[in-house]
Structure 1
């Protein structure tokens, strides 16, 4: 049996006719940029996030950069975040002219440790970017308290966590802004690049709307230095179709995660650390990520027997060559480095079949008993 990490073919076959219909409508309308499909999608994502404003942009990386700029982060400022995340989080900080300041993660959730944040704050600190990694929110109440105490902006990196909840509150309403990615592999994925920022702050929303069109308002009159980062009509039309199915797809992911955990625990007990879902959280399982010794050997074995896996973030950001000048060293953030050596993500998508999951777990068991 072959089990892919992600298979979008069944999903597409189920919505193919709708997709082709709306794409024809967009092309027939000759309105390709910031039209009615974008407006509808912005409104729906804002409503899902329990906020007032959605600003569609070209991708999730731009969502982070535009958020930082709209929140007043710039040259000489510092922004606190996690080193165990995709490069775009810290890359956006650096592109804004600010300095990424890293703090370690919680071992059980992979998310930024709120207890480590306050010690990293200086008079240059302007914002915190908590990343809701793999589909579960960071512990936001203490982060919000720290931010309020020190007058810092909170920019949620929610690229992997659309639809997730924290103590009954939605991802998207837990900070000054929240940034979504609709990269094709995401729980709500476009057929190309796409992103969005949501906020409850009308001034920030207005700034972001101007920044995404070269800083122009009215057209051809530029008061801020923006750039071209717009969500196009074709991607928005596709995402409008997919959005209606997001809730169902999340529940399918949660069921698949539950299946994995039950099978792994029953067979291997504590030999494998399975994902936790904190009591106050609603996890959307963008990834199902386990922790194991001999992680690289396990990946190699699973690949040989037809099971595709992914190792996300094998080199934490604080030791990436591009950030060498920040002065961090190996050993500075031991839990992030431990996660980088132990974490491996198993196949996860809404349409994954129980027999596929059973095969994956059987092969993991074979590895541990051989």
Structure 2
């Protein structure tokens, strides 16, 4: 009897539905790699880099082992190190600041805009001043295109240019999104992304890529990717790491890239349904002018007085999963709380960490299932 009362669980991210859609194409792509046995730097890796360049508009793409390696490789290629400061948003996944800290440089955490979740330019300016006051050399800024939406790259670029900073766009959650009509990766910035399985374009393991229009910088990245090697395999000319993308993952991504535009369109339909169904009871995400999103997450803010844990449990009881990105901003986490924050503090990041919650979001969330989610959210808020 109880089994009939318990509703079927809703998938938070439905990778299995995508797998069914792709049918045998991925199996066949992987089989080709198993047949030629070039598991590192096989032909599919070069093919994928060309396909990603064509998709994004970037002149050069360097694939790598993860989104974190992508960030780290760029910072290493830029010579970032001890005494340098790199500005990072605090309200994001830890990899952004982690990569900076791993080079020996200092991440300086800046605040975000509460309506878009992306870097706040006024706080960025204060962060640069904070770094200088502490005797650090401001060297770069890493805006994050959070939850799938592009950051305000023109405003960030203006600050960066005035202060002599390089800009590294962390598009780990937003590859496929656009800013002022141009896809991320093709803006002329150095851009990184992640192909973690839950990302809008994900592989079947870890993977990442770096996008640049600078041919010489791309060559440096390729050296960093393989232990810093020079023209001779055993003459390493710089410090590097093992940052290659496996051929099997490249083969998987080539198949997924073929349906990616269709999936982005489907994700936007899902986001529009959520906005219509929930816009009058919670704070739904807002797209900034000129920005599009691939909706890596659909993150809402709960009204004042609603207990987030109780809300999540109410949805879970109806078979609907939720997640909190991020219950602690980076400057609140044990490993990062001793790094500097921009003067004036990070109040928006702290408020967001206390009231955001993410709902199921993927390209295969059909209307009846989504109506279940919307109904459950509204019900949980009215009890």
What TM bracket, shorter-length normalisation? over 0.9
* 2:107 corresponding residue in structure 1: 100
Please give the residue correspondences for 1:309-320 in structure 2 after superposition, counting only pairs within 5 Å: 309-320=322-333
Contact 2:145 2:169 in 1 (8 A): yes
Query: Displacement, 1:301?
Result: 1.0
Please give the residue correspondences for 1:246-325 in structure 2 after superposition, counting only pairs within 5 Å: 246-265=260-279, 269=280, 271-293=281-303, 294=306, 295-325=308-338
* 1:132 corresponding residue in structure 2: 145
Contact 1:74 1:98 in 2 (8 A): yes
Contact 2:107 2:340 in 1 (8 A): no
Contact 2:76 2:240 in 1 (8 A): no
C-alpha distance in 1, partners of 2:337/2:282?
33
Deviations 1:289-340 (A, max 9, x none): 11003222211211111100110110110111112332559x9311001111
Secondary structure of 2:51's counterpart equals helix
C-alpha distance in 2, partners of 1:149/1:29?
51
Contact 1:144 1:175 in 2 (8 A): no
Query: Displacement, 1:36?
Result: 1.3
**TM-score, structure 2 length as denominator?**
0.92
* 1:120 corresponding residue in structure 2: 127
Deviations 1:114-141 (A, max 9, x none): 1221222136011000000001011111
Further displaced range: 231-240 or 13-22: 13-22
- 1:17 lines up with 2:30 in the alignment: no
* 1:355 corresponding residue in structure 2: 368
Contact 1:153 1:175 in 2 (8 A): no
C-alpha distance in 2, partners of 1:81/1:174?
19
C-alpha distance in 2, partners of 1:16/1:180?
26
- 1:185 lines up with 2:198 in the alignment: yes
Structural RMSD (CA) = 1.4
* 1:227 corresponding residue in structure 2: 241
Deviations 1:169-203 (A, max 9, x none): 22113353111100000001100001000101112
Secondary structure of 2:338's counterpart equals helix
Secondary structure of 2:62's counterpart equals strand
Aligned residues: 365
Query: Displacement, 1:362?
Result: 0.7
C-alpha distance in 2, partners of 1:31/1:55?
18
* 1:335 corresponding residue in structure 2: 348
- 1:4 lines up with 2:46 in the alignment: no
- 1:150 lines up with 2:163 in the alignment: yes
* 2:359 corresponding residue in structure 1: 346
* 2:189 corresponding residue in structure 1: 176
* 2:3 corresponding residue in structure 1: none
Contact 1:112 1:131 in 2 (8 A): yes
Query: Displacement, 1:149?
Result: 1.6
Secondary structure of 2:245's counterpart equals coil
Contact 2:330 2:337 in 1 (8 A): no
- The correspondence for 2:63, drawn from 46, 56, 61, is 56
Contact 2:109 2:341 in 1 (8 A): no
Where does the alignment leave 5 or more consecutive residues of structure 2 unmatched? 1-6
Contact 1:254 1:284 in 2 (8 A): yes
C-alpha distance in 2, partners of 1:129/1:249?
27
Further displaced range: 284-293 or 124-133: 284-293
C-alpha distance in 2, partners of 1:327/1:230?
33
**TM-score, structure 1 length as denominator?**
0.96
